Homo-oligomer: A and B are copies of this chain.
Amino acid sequence: MRGFKAAAVASGLKKVHGPDLALIVSERAATAAGVFTANKVKAAPVILSQKNIQSAKATAIIANAGNANACTGNPGLADAECTADLVGKALGISPDEILVASTGVIGQRLDMDKVKKAIPGLKAALTPEGIPVAAQAIMTTDSFPKISHFDSFSGDRPYRILGLAKGAGMIMPNMATMLCFILTDIQIAPEPLQKVLSASTEKTFNRISVDGDTSTNDMVLMLANGMAGNTALKEKDLARFQEGLTGVMEDLARMIVKDGEGATKRVDVVINNALSAKDALKAARTVANSSLVKTAFYGQDPNWGRIMAALGRAGVEMDETRVDIRINDVQIVSGGLGRGVEAEKRAAKIMTQPEFVLSIDLHQGSYRDHIITSDLTHEYININADYRT
Contacts and interface: CB of A to CB of B under 8 A. Distances in A.
**Copies per complex of this chain:** 2
A202 to B, nearest CB: 17
A321 B76 CA distance: 13
Size bracket, chain A contacts: 35 or more
Interface stretch (A15-23, A67-75, A82-90, A148-156): A67-75
B169 A292 contact: yes
Nearest to A40: B312
Contact of A38 (B313, B377, B386): B313
A380 interface: yes
A295 B385 contact: yes
A291 interface: yes
A215 interface: yes
A114 B295 CA distance: 31
Nearest to A313: B214
Contacts of A313: 38-40, 172, 174, 213-214
Contacts of A108: 338
Interface in A345-389: 376-378, 380-382, 384-389
Which of A216, A312, A320 has the most CB atoms of chain B within a 10 A radius of its CB? A312
Interface in A139-184: 169-170, 172, 174
Given A305-B106, A320-B41, A291 B212 contact: yes
Given A296-B384, A308-B216, A381-B298, A291 B107 contact: no
Contacts of A214: 309, 312-313
Given A40-B320, A309-B170, A313-B38, A337 B385 contact: no
A3 interface: no
A336 interface: yes
Contact of A290 (B70, B212, B296, B336): B212
